[in-house]
Amino acid sequence: MTTSPLAIGVFDSGMGGLTVLRALRKKLPRESFIYLGDTARLPYGTKSPATVQQYAVQMARILVERRIKALVIACNTATTAALPHLQAMLPDTPVLGVVSPGAQAAVAATKNQRIAVLATETTIAANAYQQLITTQIPTVTIHARACSLLVALAEEGMVDNAIARAALEHYLAGIQDEDTVLLGCTHFPVFRPMLRSLLPAGVNVVDSADSTAVVLQALLARENLLETGKSLGAAHYLVTDSVSRFQKVGEIFLGEAL
């Protein structure tokens, strides 16, 4: 097998994609990553698909200029708005989104075929999760809820205080018979402990991070792009706005210091 010393590019509108990067690094410790957060233009989730696609193209170009061997769109909103476009734009680079892996995780978790999808306004409006899940479970009931305010709270690092609790209670209202809650925004896994305390025991809270890592590994193996060296890979971080802010709040998402 050939080894590929190039990094994998990962981007999100801000820090949310770090929850995906964390899973990618855990699954593929020898790989190097370049993470790009578009913190200057966040949020993507309340913008039109056309604007998000335009931003996604710019993010992808920045990463491609740094020579990457694969691209992970670690943002559900950008995946729904731009995945086919970026795949067509970069025919020689595998491009992967987080929506299909997230849908897989929810399909695998539900027993009663009732799934709540929490995501941004633009992701919910795109209907992508609803379509992917329904294709696999035609009799599924999906409760889709746009929770855009959670993005701002997460970027503020407000994940375990009274404001976060009130916002989560607001968005969870009406979600009662679902046995699976799919976090369809990469910013939302940071609320997992509080969500757990608000949801009945036994409700599955799933996200796309781990399943994206599995799909990426399979993709790299298929394309003969897996890094097979012995040393651990590196991670580099780029942001379109303040570095110090990203550094300070980012570790909540990544689970380690940046």
Stretch touching ligand DGL by CB under 6 A, among 11-19, 165-173, 226-234, 240-248: 11-19
Stretch that binds ligand DGL, among 36-44, 218-226, 230-238, 240-248 (CB under 6 A): 36-44
User: Which residue in 4, 7, 9, 16 binds ligand DGL (CB under 6 A)?
Assistant: 16
Member of 56, 63, 75, 175 binding ligand DGL (CB under 6 A): 75
Residue for token digits 């919910």? Answer: 124
Nearest residue relative to ligand DGL (C-beta): 45
Q: Which residues pair with 73 in a beta bridge?
A: 11
Regarding 12 and contact with ligand DGL (CB under 6 A), the answer is: yes
d(CA 14, CA 161) in angstroms, rounded, equals 21
Q: 75 or 83, CB closer to ligand DGL?
A: 75
Residue 25 near ligand DGL by CB under 6 A: no
Nearest to 120 by CA among 136, 98, 94, 89: 98
Instruction: Quote the distance between the C-alpha of residue 179 and its chain's center.
Output: 21
Active site residue 147: no
Contact 118, 106 (CB under 8 A): no
3-state secondary structure of 239: strand
Which position among 124, 181, 185, 225 bears the catalytic label?
185
Which residue in this structure is represented by tokens 């997460």? Answer: 154
* Residue from the set 4, 8, 13, 239 that interacts with ligand DGL by CB under 6 A: 13
What is the nearest approach in angstroms of ligand DGL to the Cβ of residue 75? Answer: 4
Per annotation, catalytic residue among 75, 90, 119, 190: 75
- Contact call for residues 123 and 77 (beta carbons, < 8 A): yes
Inter-residue contact 208 to 102 (CB < 8 Å): yes
Compose the 187-206 pattern: x for residues touching ligand DGL by CB under 6 A, - for all others. x-------------------
- Pattern of binders to ligand DGL over 154-193, x per CB under 6 A? -------------------------------xxx------
Beta-carbon count within 10 A of 96 CB:
22
How far is Cα of residue 68 from the mean position of the Cα atoms in its chain? 19
75 is catalytic: yes
* DSSP helix/strand/coil, 169: helix
